Amino acid sequence: MKGVILAGGSGTRLYPLTISVNKHLLPVGSKPMITHCIDRMVESGITEILIVTNPEYVGHFSMLLKSGEEFNCKITYKTQDKPNGVAGALLQAKDFVGSDSCLVILGDNMFNFNLINQVKNYKNGCHLFFKFVPDGHRYGIGRFKNNRLYRLDEKPKDVETAFACIGVYIFDNEVFSVIDTIAPSSRGEYEISDVINVYIKNDKINFNYIEGWWTDAGTMLSYQKANEMMWNEKR
């Protein structure tokens, strides 16, 4: 299995911290945000990792991470030339993943649980991770019936408490063919929720509810929470 970390975006919700730096290079706890994602991949047994980011930040990431040797992995880099969504960024990993499967982490997702069992036991399709949150309107949220996931809704305005689909996914290499079939949303982006809904429709989905803490670090409040959690973990 290959690892893909999506670390693009403009970081507007963290201005002015991100005026001159990509948000995934900001400190969380005692080290840069993105290195926590690398640690989670390496501890799960994944040692070939691709980082997808904006063209202007490739040099910043490579200066920090270099070849990945310091992190016990091999790191390569690819650019997302247009800000066309999470699925658009993931499409850049097609050649890197090849005939393999991939663990995908959105680079601002911070958490204290490991992915070893899910990576080890993965067979095919799409595997998702859900966490109960009080602000479901910020995320893609799962719709369930009889503990069966039947749809993912992207940032619904009428939802507060919900099970959020966190920014950690496992896909087979069919994900790239699926991305080719979806159309941009009203935001002009290729939504990962649309990709996942194809897997749900085709009954190629698995998921689990996570234990432990998780937060994205994409707003000032969640960035503060991520730092508090990581300092408590002394990471």
Measured in whole angstroms, the distance separating CA 35 from the mean position of its chain's CA atoms is 13
Percent of the chain scored above 90 by pLDDT?
84
Q: What is the pLDDT of residues 202-217, one digit of tens each?
A: 999 999 999 889 999 9
**What is the chain's mean pLDDT, rounded?**
95
Residue 203 has, within 13 A of its CA and on its CB side, a CA count of: 0
pLDDT surpasses 90 at 186: no
What is the DSSP pairing of strand 109-111 with strand 214-216? Answer: antiparallel
What is the DSSP code (8-state) at residue 9?
A: S
Q: Is 39 a residue whose pLDDT tops 80?
A: yes
For the cut 90, the answer to whether the pLDDT of residue 160 exceeds it is no
pLDDT in tens, 55-92: 999 999 999 999 999 999 999 999 999 889 999 999 99
Q: Which two tokens stand for residue 40?
A: 């989670």
Assign 159 a pLDDT band (cuts: 50, 70, 90).
Answer: confident
113 three-class SS: coil
Give the start-to-end residue ranges of the domains of the chain.
2-125+166-185+203-233
Q: How confident is the model at residue 124 (pLDDT cuts 50, 70, 90)?
A: very high
d(CA 149, CA 107): 25
CATH architecture of 2-125+166-185+203-233: Alpha-Beta Complex (3.90)
